[in-house]
Structure 1
Amino acid sequence: MQDALPGDSRLALDLALTIRHDGHGGIADDLTEPAGLTTWVRAHADDLPATPGYAADADGLAAVRDLRAAVRALFAHAVRPAAPSPADSARLLPVPDALDRVNALAARLPTVPVLHWTEGAEPGVHRRPVPDGGDLAAALAQAAIAFLTGPDRQRLRACHAPRCVRYFLKDHPRQEWCKPSCGNRARVARHHERHRQPSRSAKP
């Protein structure tokens, strides 16, 4: 039986989404300062070990930002041959470097095997973090490994609606965008493009 990794594997997607469209044609980053990371962690406290009263510092922020860069590089790798999010497509880490970064951070969180054996089933084991045995970036790195080795990776997509830079999980076969508003923008953009094309090709 594969060892279960701590935390919610969807944390990796939520971490990637801290880079987003700002609503005004640019890119917003929710993790530019420790206060932003503190807010994000407290919003995800139920899925992270040992976070009551968490307050980020500069070193913790740097570690999580480094991890996020690696996760986004691996997300770009996962959605191939489709294009990655345009937010960082021009400056993605090489995949081997991203893997090294995730694995090195994940190794900082020690875990212990925990036996479970329910009635009528075979005994199994999962791994549980040692209380206070690691740090936030390590827990997030292990959540990223859980996501990238689990079934959700197959549903991962980059949204290419105008101005969107999000990754999302495809919920049904015809889904192209992360949310309906992105679909609306994409359809409007296609409509405008179709109506511009004849004027471009018209001779003077």
Structure 2
Amino acid sequence: MQDPISKDTRLALDLALTIRHDGHGGVADDLADPAGLTGWVREHTDDLPVTDGFDADEASLAAVRDLRAAVRALFAYAVRPGAPSPADAARLLPVPEAVERLNTAAARMPTVPVLHWTDTAEPAVHLRPSPEGTDLTAVLAQAAIAFLTGADRQRLRACHAPRCVRYFLKEHPRQEWCKPSCGNRARVARHHERHKA
């Protein structure tokens, strides 16, 4: 059994999973318009520094979609030598551009040094986000960086079931798909291929 998924891992995966199978053979984008971003952010208010009254505009939508493109490109890079998600295969950002985009977004979060000093330890400083100027894309970018540099990245996979475009964390050695329904679709597709030949 794997350790619980961290908040950063969950945020990074959830952002990537806003591109999904639409149920009809195509790809749906949960961030197609500002209302989609507003809904997604409101579903994640426990993990994001926004108020319940958050309303996305075109600028915030464009910033988050640009960040998502970088995250999905880096997810595709992370799953090598496996293939990327079919939703990304034809339109991946070059890795240096994706890294630059992620780092630029993460830098929008001002930090302040905080001193920690107890009777039993030497003084130490830790950087914390400043309460003023919190930026949604910066928080998402920092979560993605934490995930991509953490141990969970080694478990990242792209699901290659027919019509699936999701990335997922592999929970056990034999896991090939993101959900049981994807495994069923893959088995049915293989069965049809064998009987066509």
Q: Supply the distance in 2 between the matched residues of 1:158 and 1:9 (Cα, whole angstroms).
A: 15
1:25 maps to what in 2?
25
Q: What's the TM-score, normalizing by structure 2?
A: 0.90
Q: Per-residue deviation at 1:8?
A: 2.7
Alignment of 1:111 with 2:111, yes or no, is yes
Query: RMSD of the alignment, in Å?
Result: 1.9
* Closer/same/farther in 2, CA of residues 193 and 139 from structure 1, 3 Å limit: same
**Which structure has the larger Rg over C-alpha atoms?**
1
- Is the contact between residue 161 and residue 183 of structure 1 (CA under 8 Å) also seen in structure 2? yes
2:149 maps to what in 1?
149
Alignment of 1:176 with 2:179, yes or no, is no
Q: Supply the distance in 2 between the matched residues of 1:119 and 1:154 (Cα, whole angstroms).
A: 39
Q: What's the TM-score, normalizing by structure 1?
A: 0.87
Structure 1 residues 37-85: Cα deviation after superposition (integer angstroms, max 9, x where no partner): 0000010011112333211000000000000000000000000010000
- Is the contact between residue 159 and residue 166 of structure 2 (CA under 8 Å) also seen in structure 1? yes
- Is the contact between residue 50 and residue 131 of structure 1 (CA under 8 Å) also seen in structure 2? no
SS at match of 1:175: coil
Q: Supply the distance in 2 between the matched residues of 1:34 and 1:10 (Cα, whole angstroms).
A: 22
Q: Per-residue deviation at 1:118?
A: 7.9
- Is the contact between residue 16 and residue 68 of structure 1 (CA under 8 Å) also seen in structure 2? yes
Structure 2's unaligned 5+ residue stretches are 1-6
2:45 maps to what in 1?
45
Return the letter of the residue paired with 2:102: V
Identity %: 80
More off after superposition, 133-142 vs 116-125:
116-125
Structure 1 residues 121-180: Cα deviation after superposition (integer angstroms, max 9, x where no partner): 887654321113231111111111011011110000000001100000000110000010
Q: Supply the distance in 2 between the matched residues of 1:100 and 1:59 (Cα, whole angstroms).
A: 19
Return the letter of the residue paired with 1:103: N
Return the letter of the residue paired with 1:145: I
1:193 maps to what in 2?
193
Q: Per-residue deviation at 1:195?
A: 1.2
SS at match of 2:8: coil
* Closer/same/farther in 2, CA of residues 161 and 142 from structure 1, 3 Å limit: same
Q: Supply the distance in 2 between the matched residues of 1:114 and 1:9 (Cα, whole angstroms).
A: 25
- Is the contact between residue 50 and residue 132 of structure 1 (CA under 8 Å) also seen in structure 2? no
Q: Supply the distance in 2 between the matched residues of 1:122 and 1:172 (Cα, whole angstroms).
A: 41
Aligned residue pairs: how many?
A: 191
Q: Supply the distance in 1 between the matched residues of 2:162 and 2:191 (Cα, whole angstroms).
A: 13
* Closer/same/farther in 2, CA of residues 119 and 92 from structure 1, 3 Å limit: farther
* Closer/same/farther in 2, CA of residues 117 and 155 from structure 1, 3 Å limit: farther
SS at match of 2:157: strand
